Amino acid sequence: MGLYDRDYILRRSTYGRFTASQYSYVVILIVINVAVFVADALSQERLSSLTAARVGTLTRPWLWWQFLTYGFTHSREPSHIFFNMLTLWFFGRDIEYLLGRKEFLRLYLTMVVVAGVLWSAINYLQGLPSEIALVGASGAVVGIFVLFCLHYPRRTILLFFVLPVPAWVAGVLLLAPDVLSALRNQDSGVAYSVHLVGATIALLYYYQGWNFGQLWNRLGGLVLWTRVKYLFQRRPRLRVRHPEVEEDEEERYSKEAAELEAEVERILDKINQSGIESLTRSERRTLERASRFFRERRHSSEKRG
């Protein structure tokens, strides 16, 4: 793959969704990858021996963090990191602009982790040695490039910096060797399954209309809704009522509790429908105040009981 049209680069040199104070995550990812590559070279590959994922990582939960760190580790050959980062730079910026910085990062890291886990699982089931290692951002980079081809199929790309072809043609030519190698079950030292996983995630993301940010908010809102609902749900109270508890205090408590419960119910319904991000500061403070109120009353009741 090579550069796309020069006039297009000039037109899109400014990211419409970014402010001057925001940094591109594409740039940050490239900087981290290069920094890890340099650190690994200085340590004579001792760093990569820790950060690389292995077939046996799947059965060692204390090492599962390697399913993320392998994506920031590359082999000692400069061409490995050079072409990965070059592809990420040329095509990742458009996808980051299209999706937004945070969603781009979520997608990229998801590709890294899922590709690593499935690679380990496939090789483990095939009975390969547990110490076979995986390094490189190729899975996520291929996925980002495929997503670029899906969004801009007719954009002209200079294949190998020479041959101008539509993006969809470049995408087919990129994936063809991976598909053929997977069908033949070839072992050539290249993690074809990782490339295919990244491409598959890109295809699903595009055609299913996924958005990891919205999914995260929904899951987070559901968890919060479940916890708060449990906190405020009515439960039978078994206690001894003492004469010193005045009637007006009970009436005041009942009135305040009823008002808080009604407001909390409204806020929980809003979370369930629109997600936790839709709450205003006032509504968040109301949840906090209600939580303290009912917790204090419950502790007070337990002491009296």
Identify the pLDDT of residue 7: 31
Q: Which of 56-65, 106-115, 204-213 has the lowest mean pLDDT?
A: 204-213
68: left (phi over 0), alpha (psi -120 to 50) or beta: alpha
Residue 301 has pLDDT above 80, yes or no: no
Q: pLDDT of 180-194, one tens digit each?
A: 876 776 555 567 889
Q: pLDDT of 23-41, one tens digit each?
A: 899 999 999 999 999 999 9
Q: pLDDT of 223-236, one tens digit each?
A: 666 666 666 665 55
b/e per residue 244-281 (b: at least 16 CB within 10 A): eeeeeeeeeeeeeeeebeeebeebbebbbeebbeebee
Residue 95 has pLDDT above 70, yes or no: yes
What is the DSSP code string of 73-141? ---SSHHHHHHHHHHHHHHHHHHHHHH-HHHHHHHHHHHHHHHHHHHHHHHHHTT--TT-EE--SHHHH
Domain spans of the chain, in order of start? 6-210, 213-304
Identify the pLDDT of residue 10: 30
Residues above pLDDT 70, as percent of the chain:
75
Lookup: tokens for 44 = 């004579």
Residue 87 has pLDDT above 80, yes or no: yes
Average pLDDT over residues 162-185: 82
**Assessment of whether the complete model's pTM goes beyond 0.75:** no
Q: pLDDT of 125-146, one tens digit each?
A: 988 889 999 999 999 999 999 9
Q: Which of 22-26, 237-241, 262-266 has the lowest mean pLDDT?
A: 237-241
Its CATH class, for the domain covering 6-210, is: mainly alpha
